[in-house]
Chains A and B, each alone.
Chain A
Amino acid sequence: KAGVTQTPRYLIKTRGQQVTLSCSPISGHRSVSWYQQTPGQGLQFLFEYFSETQRNKGNFPGRFSGRQFSNSRSEMNVSTLELGDSALYLCASSLDGNQETQYFGPGTRLLVL
């Protein structure tokens, strides 16, 4: 079974721009969660989507948003990029989001200049 895939793998943007990251979950998985990983703050939960609905949200500003499509693929968008948004963005999928193990994708490394 193919794992979680994320595109693109690397991105360089400048302050003020916006970016969209994509995540395809493991086939059959309906829950997709997003995490941000930085050296200073570690791994932090952004949000979770299930059946095209945002089910849970972390403590991030409204510039961070996401959505999920009917095939469970998910995108997250960051608008008005700031230098502090430079991070590894990880997507994780699980079957139904009932606290089963979450399987992580390879991540998208975003650098904001």
Chain B
Amino acid sequence: ELKVEQNPLFLSMQEGKNYTIYCNYSTTSDRLYWYRQDPGKSLESLFVLLSNGAVKQEGRLMASLDTKARLSTLHITAAVHDLSATYFCAVSSMEYGNKLVFGAGTILRVKS
């Protein structure tokens, strides 16, 4: 069974600081996704990581994937208030078709 664990589940940080969210998954995965969700809103796609060593960056967010360790990280650089949201990682595997298995989410609060 494909399982995904995220930590931390809650992160409160000051503006300007750096931090990393971790996403571990249990079995071989083909793709790793990061989504953002604002309160009361839907999920917005941030990144999709396809292969070992993949790194993608958009603004203050950078995601990476280590398939050998079954680990993805979402690094936040010099956080700003607008980054406050819940961040989810999700994985898919050919074995499970197009189904996304989500982590519990990390609630990020950036304090000014």
Q: Does A56 lie within 8 Å of B105, measured CB to CB? A: no
Q: Does A94 lie within 8 Å of B98, measured CB to CB? A: yes
Q: Is A103 an interface residue (CB 8 A)?
A: yes
Q: Which residues of A contact B (CB under 8 A)?
A: 31, 33, 35, 42-45, 48, 50, 55-56, 58, 90, 92, 94, 97-99, 101-107
Q: Which of A31, A55, A102, A105 has the most CB of B within 10 A?
A: A102
- Chain B residue with minimal CB distance to A4? B42
Q: Is B71 an interface residue (CB 8 A)?
A: no
Q: Contacts A99-B30, A104-B42: A56 and B102 contacting too (C-beta < 8 A)?
A: no
Q: Contacts A42-B105, A45-B100: A101 and B30 contacting too (C-beta < 8 A)?
A: no
B103: A residues at CB distance < 8 A: 42
Show 8 residue pairs from A and B whose CB-CB distance is below 8 angstroms, ordered by the A residue: A33-B98, A55-B97, A56-B98, A90-B43, A92-B43, A97-B97, A101-B45, A102-B33
B43: A residues at CB distance < 8 A: 90, 92, 104
How close is B23's CB to chain A, nearest CB, in angstroms?
13
How close is A5's CB to chain B, nearest CB, in angstroms?
11
- Chain B residue with minimal CB distance to A58? B99
How close is B9's CB to chain A, nearest CB, in angstroms?
11
Main DSSP-derived SS at the A contact region: strand
Q: Does A103 lie within 8 Å of B98, measured CB to CB? A: no
How close is B97's CB to chain A, nearest CB, in angstroms?
4
B25-78 at interface with A (beta carbon < 8 Å): 30-31, 33, 35, 41-45, 48
Q: Does A56 lie within 8 Å of B97, measured CB to CB? A: yes
B105: A residues at CB distance < 8 A: 42-43
Q: Does B102 lie within 8 Å of A43, measured CB to CB? A: yes
Interface string of B85-108 (1 = CB under 8 A from A): 000101010101111111111000
Cβ contact of B99, chosen from A56, A90, A104, A106, cutoff 8 A: A56
A48: B residues at CB distance < 8 A: 97-99
How close is B99's CB to chain A, nearest CB, in angstroms?
5
How close is B45's CB to chain A, nearest CB, in angstroms?
5
Q: Does B102 lie within 8 Å of A31, measured CB to CB? A: no
Closest 7 CB pairs between A and B? A43-B102, A104-B43, A56-B97, A97-B98, A45-B99, A104-B42, A106-B42
